[in-house]
Chain A
């Protein structure tokens, strides 16, 4: 263990690749040492892991604009795979993950990326009250406003911290955690470094039957830009006119304080985060140009803040959740010149409903980091064993009051014994495509989506699920119809057929025509214990793909898609 701690403190003066090689080699040696101990001592550790793969076969279809990427033009097949293995014994846990991307469109949806290797490894040891970890680590402080190291594979986000972490448990309820390292960038790391501290605890007051509990926390993060990034910022800023110039700082400090208060059926989570002067790119601010018209977007330096409140109450069949979030200048990246989903240090929780039906999820807002004022209210009521209802309201504006997103979502569910159930409702959305998709002079997209989801159980094994949705809108692509039929034979098989039909098109296709286009999907899913295999023929319209409030524009897809995942 001492070897690893020493190597952490001295690695910066050694060649990174050599260090990686030594560490991976050492991990393998350590792994077999543990395995030997296991065999000889008859002391069983715990092995766990998982495997996931996606394989796409690309079939050109110019009518839906599924063209002009290397995959459609000549590569034809691309995919990804991840295999992770963890082993725990005697307070030690070691793990490694092999990542593979071949002709993959995950990193850049309009490009092709190939690369493979050890995507993550870590080792940790519990020593009484102390937990020591090193390698590629995932963690977060509070809701993630100032720091979240996480992985979201469908969006090629892997923001693991490559470094070391100490966690000291003062008691069963209070701990202090500190970390230092760099952020992962595919099979490399970004330069510049991150340091942070988190202290969390738990307190209980009042009588034992209905105590008031508090779960307070405080966190602090320091980002230091590398010379490389600072020089790039200076190169950019010195091209600015005097009015836009500023002196960038190497260090940014962010702090957050949060607490969960619980009393009987009431829960109240509050968090407030602040960020010191930080250089970030503001795409909405005017930049003075030396020649010609002024343009939008420039690097700037400013302080930032996020305030978040979430209150929930549940009693009997009633459940109420109300949330509020205010965000101002809270773009926080390892390098401000990075764009899209790259180099994000933090995570801004979305507070709108995360929809799952195809058309109700079509216009979904990404959490904005420059200026956002968001509210949501969710009411649920279970009338009896058969009937329940849900109303959800979300409203997101800029701090200046410009409408970004609004959703009114209703749902009624009826369960008829165990034979069938019907879920139905209507959703109304207003979506600012100018801001979320950077489209010029387009009106606010207004949609109305009635939907129904019917599940019929023929017997304990066989069931049929049917979805029907209609989106009425005069904007963007126009109105849509969506239908899905899914026949399940438990526990092994599921067959599905679905179609998304542009019933009233408003957008011309690649041929310049307003054509009603069908986007069909045919699929088969096979389950074998913890293994899940799926094979689908897919035609998918261009759209915004979101995962947990982080979104990106995805081009249309046409082809076959195979996925497989398992855990063990």
Chain B
């Protein structure tokens, strides 16, 4: 009896292990036909060993979806301190820190929010640490209906370094709720140290680094209950600091604006736009 039962066990194991499954299909990247532009906010840091992986994921997304994604690299607090003896710059700033705290909880860095969609996960509310998921989240957002158009004009005066930003928001559908606008100033092509795994890369190219926000970190209120055909205008004047340390170069800077919900928990971004300060 015992011997028979042993044979039964082995036969069961072998029969399970010999089952074949139909292979899954790995599709290609698709480019949706839409006027939507998605906001991708990456929480990163110079002292974050895994963050180059996030940087690479962001660059791949920008490459795959040209003109459809506006990216921001937020060097807030956690693992964002400069690398002792190696970093030339400190990318941290109060608005970046406020944003990072606003996106808590998150599991670790790198992580990113895609249009600030609520992930319904108690460990990572808005920002997911699985870099490989970012692209599919961007794709999902691009496939949603386009509800708001966003226009932006910038005018930079090199003599006094004053930057004028004119934004027009035009709802193309009726949407209930209260809405805000956030404006970000980012800088790219900054060569500085970055931890990569167990190494330090001295000549790492930092892109889309959030330098400051002319608005409040959680946005300036636009209005409530959007009606189709309405328009909202906002004007900001920001003077770029002349830091003298090689940063705040207007030719490397970009203005990013995003219209988003401003509920206590619903922060969904409806539309984003990005424009270089010097075209």
How near does chain A come to B110, taking the closest CB pair, in angstroms? 10
Q: Separation in Å of the A70 CB from the closest CB of chain B?
A: 7
Whether A38 sits at the interface, judged by CB under 8 Å, is no
- Flag if A111 contacts B24 (CB, 8 Å): no
Q: Kindly provide the distance from the CB of A376 to the nearest chain B CB, expressed in whole angstroms.
A: 26
A440 and B198 in contact (CB under 8 A), knowing A199-B6, A253-B17?
yes
Residue from A108, A195, A247 in contact with B107 in the complex, judged by beta carbons closer than 8 Å: A108
Determine chain B's interface SS by DSSP, over half rule: mixed
The answer, among A70, A247, A291, A296, for a CB contact under 8 Å with B23, is A247
Q: How far is the CA of A171 from the CA of B26 in the complex (A)?
A: 50
Given A110-B78, A234-B27, A276-B17, also A293-B104 (CB < 8 A): no
A236 touches B24 (CB 8 A): no
Contact residues, B75-101 vs A (CB, 8 A) = 77-78, 84, 101
**A452 close to chain B: CB less than 8 A:** no
**Do A438 and B52 have beta carbons less than 8 Å apart?**
no
Q: Which residues of A contact B9 (CB under 8 A)?
A: 176, 197, 199, 218
Known: A292-B205, A293-B52. A239 touches B16 (CB 8 A): no
Q: Is A295 an interface residue (CB 8 A)?
A: yes
> Residues of A within 8 Å of B, CB-based: how many?
59
CB A367 to nearest CB in B, in angstroms, measures: 20
Say yes or no: is A112 at the interface (Cβ < 8 Å to chain B).
yes
How many whole Å from B84's CB to the nearest CB in chain A? 8
Q: Which residue of A lies closest to B77 (CB)?
A: A68
Q: In whole Å, how far is B59's beta carbon from the nearest beta carbon of chain A? A: 4
Closest residue on chain A to residue B29 by CB atoms: A238
Per the 8 Å Cβ criterion, residues 189-206 of A in contact with B are 195, 197, 199
Asked if B60 CB lies within 8 Å of chain A CBs, one says yes
A297 interface residue per 8 A CB criterion: yes
Considering only residues 395-446 of chain A, those with a C-beta below 8 Å from chain B are 434-435, 438-442
Task: Specify which of A199, A235, A291 is in contact with B132 (CB 8 Å cutoff).
Answer: A235
Smallest CB separation, B57 vs chain A (Å): 7
Q: Is the CB of B2 within 8 A of A170?
A: yes
Binding site secondary structure of chain A:
loop
- A-binding segment of B122-130, B160-168, B267-275: B122-130
The contact of A287 among B53, B123, B133, by CB within 8 Å, is B53
- Decide yes or no: A239 and B57 within 8 Å by CB, A107-B122, A171-B2, A247-B24 being known contacts: yes
Chain B's closest residue to A440 (CB) is B195
1/0 per residue A343-374: CB within 8 Å of B? 00000000000000000000000000000000
Q: Does B19 contact A (CB under 8 A)?
A: yes
B 137-177 binary contact with A (CB < 8 Å = 1; else 0) = 00000000000000000000000000000000000000000
Q: Which residue of A lies closest to B54 (CB)?
A: A295
With beta carbons under 8 angstroms apart, the residue of A111, A247, A290, A508 that contacts B60 is A290
Hey, which chain A residues are within 8 Å of B84, CB to CB?
Answer: 508
Over the window 183-215 of chain B, the binary record of Cβ atoms lying under 8 Å from chain A Cβ atoms (1 yes, 0 no) is: 000000000000111111100110000000000
Q: Is A128 an interface residue (CB 8 A)?
A: no
Name A295's closest neighbour in chain B (CB-CB).
B53
Q: In the bound complex, how far is the Cα of B200 from the Cα of A276, in angstroms?
A: 36
Q: Does B5 contact A (CB under 8 A)?
A: yes
Q: Which residues of B contact A110 (CB under 8 A)?
A: 78, 105
Task: Verify if A115 is at the interface (C-beta below 8 Å from B).
Answer: yes
Q: Which residue of B16, B59, B101 contacts A290 across the interface (Cβ within 8 Å)?
A: B59
Across the interface, which residues of A come within 8 angstroms of B264, CB to CB? Answer: none
Encoded as 1 (CB less than 8 Å from any A CB) or 0, chain B from 1 to 33 comes to: 110011001001100110101011011110000
Q: Mark A262-297, 1 if CB is under 8 A from B, else 0.
A: 000000000000001000000000010111110111
Closest to A110 in B: B78
Q: Is there contact, CB below 8 Å, between B53 and A235?
A: no
Query: How many angstroms between the C-alpha atoms of A222 and B122 in the bound complex?
Result: 28
Assess the B26–A238 pair: CB atoms within 8 A: yes
Q: Known: A230-B24, A253-B17, A337-B133. Is A291-B56 also a contact (CB below 8 A)?
A: yes
B250: interface (CB < 8 Å): no
User: Are the C-beta atoms of A296 and B132 separated by less than 8 Å?
Assistant: no
Residue of B nearest to A340 (CB): B107
- B55 interface residue per 8 A CB criterion: yes
What residue of chain A has the Cβ atom nearest to residue B203's Cβ? A293
Q: Is the CB of A111 within 8 A of B59?
A: no
B-facing residues in A104-129 (Cβ within 8 Å): 107-108, 110-113, 115
Question: Does B135 have its Cβ within 8 Å of any Cβ on chain A?
Answer: yes
Other-chain contact of A296, B53, B59, B78 (Cβ < 8 Å): B53
- CB pair A292–B123 under 8 Å, yes or no, is no
Question: Which chain B residues border A237 with CB–CB below 8 Å?
Answer: 26, 132
- Across-interface contacts of A483 in B (CB, < 8 A): none
Q: Could you tell me the distance between the alpha carbons of A250 and B19 in the complex, rounded to whole angstroms?
A: 11
- Among residues of B, the one whose C-beta sits closest to the C-beta of A107 is B123
* Inter-chain contact B56/A293, CB cutoff 8 Å: yes
Residue in B17, B21, B28, B136 whose beta carbon sits within 8 Å of that of A235 in the complex? B136
For the complex with contacts A113-B123, A295-B53, 9 further pairs of A-B residues with Cβ separation under 8 Å are A249-B23, A249-B24, A255-B13, A287-B53, A289-B60, A292-B55, A296-B53, A440-B196, A441-B199
- B interface residues (Cβ-Cβ under 8 A, vs A): 1-2, 5-6, 9, 12-13, 16-17, 19, 21, 23-24, 26-29, 49-50, 52-53, 55-57, 59-60, 62-64, 77-78, 84, 101, 104-108, 122-123, 129-130, 132-133, 135-136, 195-201, 204-205
23 A-B contacts (beta carbon < 8 Å): A70-B104, A107-B123, A108-B123, A112-B105, A222-B16, A234-B24, A238-B26, A238-B29, A239-B132, A249-B21, A249-B23, A250-B21, A290-B60, A291-B63, A292-B56, A292-B59, A293-B52, A295-B196, A337-B132, A339-B129, A340-B108, A439-B49, A441-B200
